[in-house]
């Protein structure tokens, strides 16, 4: 396996299933090089990897079929930072209530589909002061709830009876989808966690040029 080059400047997006292009689009908006990750070789030299939302059972099977599970774990041990959005957060959690955990790399417990069916998906806004000074728009799609966090985990966004965003030294998890909103705040936050320098001003985290379809213009290979 190729050793991680810490200053490569690129962030990968696991490209097996789910919201891949939307994340690549957001990375482009903050002038961070993004890379689709389908095979083990695509992990070489990345500073960070986003595991997108989608369907966690499907993603877990594809990770095994494509031989990426052990490769991601090995790169993580060598310093690769990870961000799991929604299904990605489920895969990274140490405990998945009532089910077997997958990577089990961050000390959180998640409860899948805790808001109900797809029809119970919703949008709202909340302030996550560590991430951005202004309220951030949040999109929850058949999301899990983070129902427990260990002592080494910092809560970034706490809602009524659950945690919506958290991190430890090397992993960020969000149960909502920043890539489906005009907010670039979490992408900037993760890029900085990876030691990179995203473009743009924290105070203007909403990109006025973003639309729900704007990622399409970047095509399948960014
Ligand atoms: N409900 C999905 C799961 O359990 C996650 C949904 C999402 O990623 N938006 O995997």
Calpha distance 22→151 (Å, rounded): 32
Number of folded domains in the chain?
1
Residue at 1 is within a domain: no
Residue at 4 is within a domain: no
The model carries a pTM of 0.93
Residue at 107 is within a domain: yes
Query: Ligand 1: which of 18, 22, 56, 116 to mutate, judged by most atoms within 8 Å of the beta carbon?
Result: 56
Three-class DSSP category at 159 = coil
| Helix (H) or strand (E) run with residue 106 in it | strand 106-111
Calpha distance 190→13 (Å, rounded): 12
Residue at 18 is within a domain: yes
Domain harbouring 153, CATH code:
3.40.50.880
Residue at 193 is within a domain: yes
Q: How far is CA 137 from CA 39, 48, 60, 116, in A?
A: 33, 23, 28, 21
Calpha distance 168→147 (Å, rounded): 16
pLDDT band of residue 205 (cuts 50, 70, 90) is confident
Q: What is the pLDDT of residue 216?
A: 78
pLDDT band of residue 209 (cuts 50, 70, 90) is confident
Residue at 192 is within a domain: yes
Calpha distance 221→94 (Å, rounded): 32
**pLDDT tens, residue by residue, 168-184:** 999 999 999 999 999 99
**Does the CB atom of residue 86 touch ligand 1 within 6 A?**
yes
Q: What is the pLDDT of residue 6?
A: 44
Quote the ligand 1 centre to 143 CA distance (angstroms). Answer: 6
Domain membership of residue 206 as a residue range: 10-218
């Amino acid at each position: 396996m190729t050793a991680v080059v810490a200053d490569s400047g690129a962030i990968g997006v696991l490209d097996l299933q789910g919201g891949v292009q939307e994340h690549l689009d957001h990375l482009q908006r903050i002038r961070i090089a993004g890379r689709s990750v389908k095979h083990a070789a695509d992990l070489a030299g990345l500073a960070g990897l986003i595991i997108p939302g989608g369907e966690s059972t499907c993603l877990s099977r594809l990770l095994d079929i494509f031989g990426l599970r052990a490769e991601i774990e090995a790169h993580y041990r060598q310093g690769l930072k990870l961000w799991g959005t929604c299904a990605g957060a489920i895969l990274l959690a140490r405990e998945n209530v009532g089910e077997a955990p997958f990577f089990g790399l961050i000390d959180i417990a998640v409860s899948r589909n805790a808001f109900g069916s797809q029809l119970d998906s919703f949008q709202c806004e909340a302030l996550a002061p560590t991430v951005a000074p202004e309220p951030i728009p949040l999109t929850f799609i058949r999301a899990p709830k983070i129902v427990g966090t260990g002592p080494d985990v910092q809560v970034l966004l706490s809602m009524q009876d659950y945690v919506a965003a958290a991190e430890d030294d090397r992993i960020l998890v969000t149960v909502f989808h920043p890539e489906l909103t005009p907010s670039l705040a979490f992408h900037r936050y993760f890029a900085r966690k990876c030691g990179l320098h995203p473009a743009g001003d924290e105070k203007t985290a909403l990109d006025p040029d973003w639309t729900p379809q704007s990622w399409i213009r970047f095509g399948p290979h960014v």
